[in-house]
Amino acid sequence: MKSKFIKIEYKTLEAMIGLYCRDLHGTVTHNLCADCGQLLTYAKARLDKCPYQEQKPTCAKCPIHCYKPAMREKVRNVMRYAGPRMLKHHPLLAIRHLLHGRSEAPPPRKG
Ligand SMILES: [Zn+2]
């Protein structure tokens, strides 16, 4: 069972990658191209393994940087594009993401 928090993170990722893919790759919403589908799967897998879970900061602030360099570059492009547009399309998720981005990362849990 995934926590509510992780589910919201999933939703935010899906919304951002979906927006990016639709606008830049011409795909229909909820139907990602192969490349973006792979990125989403990868990002979700990283989220599952994130040691912070409930205390997770936004990835921009996270001290771990668990993404492979190539994937990090892709996700950064997605965030840069979708970030400002999220306010219009998914205001609640966007505001939550902005507020969340202000909190600092706690020290990683041991063990
Ligand atoms: Zn795409």
Give the residue among 53, 84, 83, 54 at the shortest CA–CA distance from 66: 53
Rounded Cα–Cα distance for residues 45 and 47 (Å)? 5
Q: Ligand 1 center to residue 27 CA distance, Å?
A: 7
Q: Ligand 1 center to residue 13 CA distance, Å?
A: 13
Q: Ligand 1 center to residue 17 CA distance, Å?
A: 8
Q: Which two tokens stand for residue 11?
A: 């939703």
Give the residue among 87, 90, 78 at the shortest CA–CA distance from 24: 78
Q: What is the pTM of this model?
A: 0.77
- Return all residues near 107 (Cβ < 8 A) that are at least 6 apart: none
Q: Ligand 1 center to residue 78 CA distance, Å?
A: 10
Q: Ligand 1 center to residue 34 CA distance, Å?
A: 7
Q: 26-66: per-residue pLDDT in tens?
A: 997 668 999 999 999 999 998 888 776 676 666 666 666 67
Rounded to the nearest angstrom, the gap between the alpha carbon of residue 62 and the centroid of all alpha carbons in its chain is 12
pLDDT at position 107 is: 67
